[in-house]
Amino acid sequence: MPELDYDALNSQFESAYPQDILRWSAATFGDRLAVVTSFQPTGIVTLHMLHDLGISADVLTLDTGLLFPETYALMEDVEQRFNLRLKRITPALTVAQQAEQYGDTLWSHDPDACCNMRKVVPLKDVVSGYAGWITGLRRDQGETRAQTPIVSWDKRNNNVKICPFANWTEEMMWTYIGAYDLPYNTLHDQNYPTIGCVPCTKPVAEGVTDLRAGRWANQNKTECGIHQSN
């Protein structure tokens, strides 16, 4: 893989179409490129664009064992619709095994530990085997993501992290989904702005604009840890 000039790339990509960034990613990393998605709206748009461009890459998703039935149904639909090379990453411990060792509701009294075991560590073990990975981070998703670069060196995974939609907005994602009549998680129609594991995801009141609201309610936590630097 060639040395990358991240400043130049970010300057170039700031005004580029996401399709151009996806083409560059495929050309640069080839079969060492992965897409990581939890099947949120940005992930659906990413997978549709890749399919439309004829780009095939490994698609990685975390199956924590605690996802909503609606999320599993969407995975199945999108996997078949786009003929994905989908790899479901599972934690070392099942939910039952975790309960035996750490108690029935680890997510309640130590959500960071639960996320680390069920998300952060399992994903790192797999994604670090790729030279580059595409993710759906966007700057409008909250303060912790407001400075998200489009291309960066990922110290945690020792590879390149690509956020083709960093400067898109939630409205733009839904406009695209509507224009192409794409499937999405039906929980979004029930006031779930973002969707994770069942115990840690709640609907929000009408009019709430925080796109991370409803995650880890009543906890001092807004990120699972995957996108936080070491």
- Residue positions annotated with a catalytic role: 224
For residue 160, what is the DSSP state?
Answer: E
Alpha helix positions (H), 128-216: 170-179
Q: Which residues of 87-116 are buried (b: 16+ CB within 10 A; e: fewer)?
A: eebebebeeeebeeebeeebbeeebbebbb
> For strand 85-89 and strand 132-134, is the pairing parallel, antiparallel, or unpaired?
unpaired
Residue linked to tokens 């990358």:
4
Amino acid identity for residue 37 in this structure: T
How many residues are recorded in the chain?
230
Which whole-number Å values give the CA distances from 223 to 54, 105, 170, 212, 214, in the listed order? 32, 19, 18, 9, 12
CA-nearest of 165, 167, 166 to 177 is 165
Alpha-carbon distance of 44 to 76, in angstroms, equals: 13
The count of C-alpha atoms lying within 13 angstroms of the C-alpha of 117, restricted to the half-sphere facing its C-beta, is 17
> Which of helix, strand or coil describes residue 205?
coil
